[in-house]
Structure formats: C-alpha cells, structure tokens
Amino acid sequence: MTATILDGKAFAADVRARVKAHVSQMVNEHGITPGLAVVLVGEDPASRVYVRNKGVQTLEAGMASFEHKLAVDTTEQALLALIARLNADPAVHGILVQLPLPAHLNAELVINSITPDKDVDGFHISNVGLLGTGQKAMVPCTPLGCLMMLRAHHGSLAGLNAVVVGRSNIVGKPMAQLLLGESCTVTIAHSRTRDLPDVCRSADILIAAVGRPHMIRGEWIKPGATVIDVGINRTDMGLAGDVAFAEAVTVAGAISPVPGGVGPMTIACLLANTLTACCRSNGLPEPEGLTV
C-alpha cells in the first residue's frame, strides 16, 4: 500500500483562488479592499524571504499590501507606536508581526498590542481564549491549513482519534482545539510522553509538530491513518519533516510531504484570515470554507 499524497501546493492554490474571487466580489459590490500589514524587524534572511512571498501573494489575491521594514535596533516604543497606528488605520484589516523578533523586544507584549480583530496570526491572548472556549476567533494559519486539508480528505472528522505530537502555542495547542471542535477524540503528546510510539499508533489522524527531523517512524503509524507533517527541519540533506516519509508512505492511508505539504497552506490561510477579518469588520458574510 502506498499512501495518498496530500498535495499542499494544490490545496493552497485552491484556497488562494477562492480568496481572490471573494475579494474581487467584495471590491465590486462594496468598494472594500482587504488590507494586510506585515511588520519585519531586522534582517533575518528566512523572514525576509517569507515576508516578500507574503507581499507577492497578497497583491495577487487583489488585496492591499502594507510592508513595514524596521531596523534591527528599533525600540519597543517605536514598534508599539507603529502597531497603534495600524490598529487605527481603517485600510488595514490584518496585522502580522514577523517572528522571531530581535532579543531586546518582548514578543508577547508586541503580539498582544495588536487589536484582536486584526490579529491574523491568531496569537493574541484573546484569540487563544476564544478558540479554547469554542467561540469565533482568528485562528493560527498553520493549524487552520491542516484542518482544511483534513476536511477536504475526510469530510467529517467526527469520532476519529487524533494525536497531536507537539504542544507549541503556534501549532500543537491550537491544532488540538480545532480537532476538538470537529468532534475528534484528541490526545496531545510530546517528547516526554510515555510509550510515544504506542500513543501514535492509536491515531486515525496523526499531526507531527515537534520540530525533530524524522522522529515519527513508519512503525509508529496505524495502517491507513492520515498523517499531517508540520515539521520543517533544515538538515544536511535538505528540508525534512518530523515524519520518516519513506517509511510512513508505505503504512499511512494519506500523508502530507515536506516540502510541499503544510507549508504552502500557511500563507494561503493568512490571506484567508485577512479576508475573514475584513468581512467581520464590515459586517459582511464570511467566506464559506475558509474559516471555522
């Protein structure tokens, strides 16, 4: 048996196309253009590439793109002042501060200074609380992308056993909340989980988000399970996921590759979140299938 490959590039292209169509309709019918502001502090090479890609895809979707590139020694006061201006700007519907920030800046303070309704990363403590209590929230982009892929593959997820390996605030915890919202039975596992291979083998849906290359072995996977590999690890052999793909692909029913799996969905879901934020702020119907 060879697993079905969950093609993140194709999923992301479909999400971007739906966002673009909805944006075009919004502009034509209401004269409203969703706007995304991205703030980059410093010269981190990976962050610069990521921000550039976000800007290109934002414009391709018909949205307004506002980029703010600040020096690495920018003060916290100056950064917070910029965010305050963006919070008050009606042309800006989504604000993203690219992480990681330089060490002298308090990331939690900066993130929580963003108006929750414009927090398209879904990291503000208010959005974390709303998601955790099953209320309408801005949802972190990577878990949202994973959920979209799972919905597309399975349809209903109700009653399935889901194991999330990883407990980060960015992926693991919100992913578990989203799966609970789909009526899965959810286990959060991590590096200190006892009998981790056995826990993984109980999963109908296995989400690997631990940040260790090839940690999840093929023998840890339940035959026929759906495996979503969130890991992006740079190794001497190139990019590698958290799952030993060559082993897993012969056991799983479906699996997302690295690269080309979850990664492309992250920016696509950022665009979807910006559109959702714009719809909510203007009292318009939210785009179907692009939010939770």
Q: What is the DSSP letter of 238?
A: E
CB atoms within 10 A of CB 105: 18
177 is catalytic: no
98 is catalytic: yes
Q: Which two tokens stand for residue 222?
A: 């339940």
Residue 193 Cα distances to 179, 219, 263, angstroms: 20, 17, 26
Q: CB-hemisphere CA count at 13 Å for 3?
A: 26
SS percent in the chain: helix, strand, coil, step 5: 45, 15, 40
Give the Cα separation of 88 and 115 in Å (integer): 9
7 is catalytic: no
**Catalytic-role residue among 57, 119, 121, 229:** 121
**Catalytic-role residue among 98, 118, 173, 242:** 98
Instruction: Assess contact for 53 and 93: CB atoms under 8 A.
Output: no
**Catalytic-role residue among 54, 118, 173, 222:** 54
Give the Cα separation of 276 and 160 in Å (integer): 28
Give which of 262, 266, 264, 273 is closest to 36, Cα–Cα: 273
* Residues involved in catalysis: 54, 98, 121
